[in-house]
A and B are shown apart, each in its own frame.
Chain A
Amino acid sequence: MPRLNGAQIIIRHLERQGIRIVAGIPGGANLPLYDALAASTTIRHVLARHEQGAGFIAQGMARSSGQTAVCFATSGPGATNILTALADAYLDSVPLVCITGQVPSSLLGTDAFQEVDTYGMSMPVTKHNYLVRCAADLLTILPKAFQLAGSGRPGPVLIDVPKDVQTEIIEFASWPEACPLQVQRTDEPESIKVAAAMINEAARPILYLGGGVIHAGAAAEARQLAEQGSIPTVMTLMGLGILPSDHPLSLGMLGMHASRATNLAMEECDLLIAAGVRFDDRATGRLSAFCPRAKVIHVDIDASEIGKLRPADAAITGDARQAFADLLPHVRQRDRRQWNGCIRELQQAYPRFYDQDFAPGRPFALIRRVAEWVGPEAFISTDVGKHQMWVAQAYPFTDPRQLLTSGGLGTMGFGLPAAIGAALAFPERPVVCFSGDGSLQMNIQELATAVEEQVNIKIVVLNNQSLGLVRQQQRLFYEQHYFASSYRIAVDFAAIARGFGMQAYDLAGASDPDALLQQALRESGPCLINVPIDIEEEVYPMVPPGAANTTMIGDEYAQN
């Protein structure tokens, strides 16, 4: 009969759950947990330098692998610091289990040292959360937390464990079985038939695919559906990689920074087949003007997403892979020559790229060079800002889960720790973090973690010495009143990286920047590459926030 304390129960359960890496930071209220972790022979602890970093390292593991990842933080500031990473995971549906220490039960509610209401604060940013009352409850809460995080629409689950619960010794008969992930079957033959008929009848359909398709492992089925019906396909930021960028049916990303032809094509479509998407405002622009002539088929595992923002003419509530598999036998093989021809005309009239975009030193040229040298097996993490949008526009993605990026919350500081997480989960694969000088400074302390763990990541800093997207909005919508959007000092990121013990290169003033970049990318272990970018380089075209997606400004076709 096992006789263990609460902390030992947690660690043993994580081992039984197959967890091999935990990212976190110890503190007063989770020391029993760390004492138990020290005795584990199978779990490797990765000591982050800030709890937000720990949360994003866990996210990097979870996003790259699709498996639930675990992070630890102490009470009070530890918990508040990790909340951003949980909110980020919640908005992008990433499976995490976060275990926080809490002050002893007897002190709860007394404003004790390092006490905050972690349970109350994490409630709106987690799929579910627990405040554990006694050690025995851990035996049901732990397997349930993993089941919840990974089932249905994935998401973060927080377990707040008071210190006395961690040290409480109990004796129990046997370990609970790990709860299997719940499979949500569609089993809606009627809506499948209705949807298939709508697809077969549509003259100008568009597939609109998002992160949910990736979570469902449905990229192959989505591709088959697109090819079977010759259906042009757009992807959200979270969906990039479902179709390879160079696939003839891929129209790339839709929305605020889509190519002009993509947004114009959507205006013409008569059927929108939306799967694993939530009609986010960055994707749809002004909702009332989004695909105004289209009927909507909406496939989502989360029933509350269907009809939340745009009514669906046909709804399939369930797993996208199963939904596509059920649809495929009913979807007629069609070539839709006229519709695809019309889209090709749009693409010829409004090309996505111009030769001058690839001139040396320009962002697209840099991004394509990196892609060429790291190859298709590389994971790409980004931070948030101009560099993120340039990567979304120009990187030749070939696979789902290849791009790790903060979509819903748009958290600057995501890229570096997420890259560390992906490299920990896949030590054999190259990982590139595209970052900006603004974003990198939001979690720059994780350079130390990267060096300590000797993870194989290359950090490419597109350095325009500004908060570029903010500055761009000030230019476009605030009469060029640039305020608080550029940095008055130039930070020497290469020197800082070296200070952390990391290899570093600076392309500023290099006689052959390409050769230097290639050399840097060939380094083994972590390496930072600073790349100066002109502050005037903008992300175009752009749909003004709140405007219809057809109102694109900034490129040479803009009417205004």
Chain B
Amino acid sequence: MHRTDPHSPQEVKTVNTAILRLTVNNHPGVMLQICGLFARRIFNLEGIFCTAIDQGETSCIWLKVDETEKLEQVIKQLAKLEDVLAVEERIDARERISAMEAMMARIG
């Protein structure tokens, strides 16, 4: 039986995460730039999914970010990267991202 407890850690975690969708230039250094930014600025990155779009010219990167207080700063820093063409906050994609996470877990 599923019980919703607003104080359970899992629930808190879901509330704290944000979903970002980036459009980036597709070249071999871009993932390093994104991950490096999160590492050196001590932003928590929970998940990352990347795929080429537009005949390979650009890529789309989905980020699950465990930050609410610093989210504005995360977005501003991402937007500053020359290879990042767009940053969108996509709360609407939360459920689809969760479904994808579940699928990834099943592939195990």
* Residues of A participating in the B interface, judged by any CB pair closer than 8 Å: 119-120, 123-124, 127-129, 131, 148, 302-304, 307-308
Q: Roughly how many angstroms separate A129 CA and B79 CA in the complex, as a whole number?
A: 16
Q: Roughly how many angstroms separate A123 CA and B72 CA in the complex, as a whole number?
A: 22
Q: Roughly how many angstroms separate A123 CA and B80 CA in the complex, as a whole number?
A: 13
Residues of B within 8 A of A124 (CB): 36, 40
- Pairwise interchain contact B29-A123, C-beta atoms closer than 8 A: yes
- Pairwise interchain contact B32-A303, C-beta atoms closer than 8 A: no
Task: Name the residue in B28, B36, B73, B79 with the highest tally of chain A Cβ atoms < 10 Å from its Cβ.
Answer: B73
Known interface pairs A128-B82, A148-B82; A123-B33 also in contact (CB < 8 Å): yes
Q: List 27 A-B contacts (CB under 8 A).
A: A119-B29, A120-B29, A120-B32, A123-B29, A123-B32, A123-B33, A123-B36, A124-B36, A124-B40, A127-B82, A128-B82, A129-B29, A131-B28, A131-B29, A148-B82, A302-B80, A303-B76, A303-B79, A303-B80, A304-B73, A304-B76, A304-B77, A304-B79, A304-B80, A307-B72, A307-B73, A308-B73
Q: Roughly how many angstroms separate A448 CA and B32 CA in the complex, as a whole number?
A: 39
Residues of B within 8 A of A128 (CB): 82
Q: Which residue of A lies closest to B33 (CB)?
A: A123
- Scoring B residues 64 to 86 as 1 if CB is less than 8 Å from chain A, else 0, what string do you get? 00000000110011011010000
CB proximity of A151 to chain B, nearest CB, Å: 11
* Residues of B participating in the A interface, judged by any CB pair closer than 8 Å: 28-29, 32-33, 36, 40, 72-73, 76-77, 79-80, 82
Q: Other than the known A120-B29, A120-B32, A148-B82, what 4 A-B pairs have Cβ atoms closer than 8 Å?
A: A127-B82, A304-B73, A304-B76, A304-B77
Q: Roughly how many angstroms separate A374 CA and B29 CA in the complex, as a whole number?
A: 49
Residues of B within 8 A of A302 (CB): 80
Residues of B within 8 A of A148 (CB): 82
CB proximity of B67 to chain A, nearest CB, Å: 14
Q: Roughly how many angstroms separate A308 CA and B74 CA in the complex, as a whole number?
A: 10
Residues of B within 8 A of A129 (CB): 29
Q: Roughly how many angstroms separate A279 CA and B52 CA in the complex, as a whole number?
A: 39
Q: Roughly how many angstroms separate A445 CA and B23 CA in the complex, as a whole number?
A: 47
What are the 9 A-B residue pairs with the smallest beta carbon separation, nearest first?
A304-B76, A128-B82, A303-B76, A304-B77, A124-B40, A123-B36, A304-B80, A308-B73, A124-B36
Q: Which residue of A lies closest to B74 (CB)?
A: A304
Q: Roughly how many angstroms separate A289 CA and B25 CA in the complex, as a whole number?
A: 42
CB proximity of A156 to chain B, nearest CB, Å: 13
Residues of A within 8 A of B29 (CB): 119-120, 123, 129, 131
Q: Roughly how many angstroms separate A371 CA and B28 CA in the complex, as a whole number?
A: 52
Q: Which residue of B lies closest to A303 (CB)?
A: B76
Q: Roughly how many angstroms separate A307 CA and B32 CA in the complex, as a whole number?
A: 26
CB proximity of A545 to chain B, nearest CB, Å: 20
CB proximity of A72 to chain B, nearest CB, Å: 22
Q: Which residue of B lies closest to A123 (CB)?
A: B36
Q: Roughly how many angstroms separate A127 CA and B79 CA in the complex, as a whole number?
A: 13
Residues of B within 8 A of A304 (CB): 73, 76-77, 79-80
Q: Roughly how many angstroms separate A304 CA and B77 CA in the complex, as a whole number?
A: 6
Q: Which residue of A lies closest to B28 (CB)?
A: A131
CB proximity of A532 to chain B, nearest CB, Å: 42
CB proximity of A469 to chain B, nearest CB, Å: 26
Q: Which residue of A lies closest to B75 (CB)?
A: A304
CB proximity of B45 to chain A, nearest CB, Å: 16
Q: Roughly how many angstroms separate A179 CA and B22 CA in the complex, as a whole number?
A: 26
Q: Roughly how many angstroms separate A351 CA and B77 CA in the complex, as a whole number?
A: 42
CB proximity of B101 to chain A, nearest CB, Å: 29
